Structure 1
């Protein structure tokens, strides 16, 4: 998940993904991005949404962390 997230941020580097705020809501435990999907905010949000979904859909062994 982390590598994919880093790669996604690499694709939106011109948007300054680590500092650009975006709008989202949580609906039934799912992130819903509220900005236009083609905007910088929307693209950054989607990177984070995919990351959260990946974490939620995988099991991790605390010993490996």
Structure 2
């Protein structure tokens, strides 16, 4: 019986990982596509920029772009704290519906509260980035980044 329960648990975990991987592509793709819609360039420009852009974040933002990323992290955290979304890591794998209308991302209305909140967070960060020129170089953080977003995971490399 213990063998059966262990096997069942492993199968469930593997299914969850496979499902999460396919959902991650969709969810992260939304932010990427929003950036292309609004900014006309790839959001990876901001990956590992400053103290807040990418996985994790802490300390004082190095500039306005980094502050946009800090507010984005706080926006996702608020969606979880208000119980609109169920768990912090899942915010990155949650798909939502939006469309690009005349160079502006528009969140669709036929979504649950979590999807609507995450779509709004992503739209807000892209609009915020749009207030600044595209960075030619990545500002770096003086302090080591803290990975507060994935509290349950022991080590996650900073993107």
| Fold agreement, TM-score > 0.5 | yes
Preserved contact between residue 109 and residue 116 of structure 2 (Cα < 8 Å): yes
Q: Which moved more, 1:17-26 or 1:36-45?
A: 36-45
Preserved contact between residue 94 and residue 115 of structure 2 (Cα < 8 Å): yes
Asked if 1:62 corresponds to 2:136, the answer is yes
Consecutive unaligned residues of structure 1, counting only runs of 5 or more, are none
**Aligned-pair RMSD on alpha carbons?**
2.1
Deviation at 1:29, TM superposition (A): 1.1
**Normalized against structure 2, the TM-score is what?**
0.37
Asked if 1:39 corresponds to 2:110, the answer is no
Larger Rg computed on CA atoms: 2
**Normalized against structure 1, the TM-score is what?**
0.81
- Work out which of the residue numbers 13, 22, 25 in structure 1 matches 2:99: 25
Asked if 1:2 corresponds to 2:76, the answer is no
Regions of 4+ moved over 2 Å:
35-38, 59-65
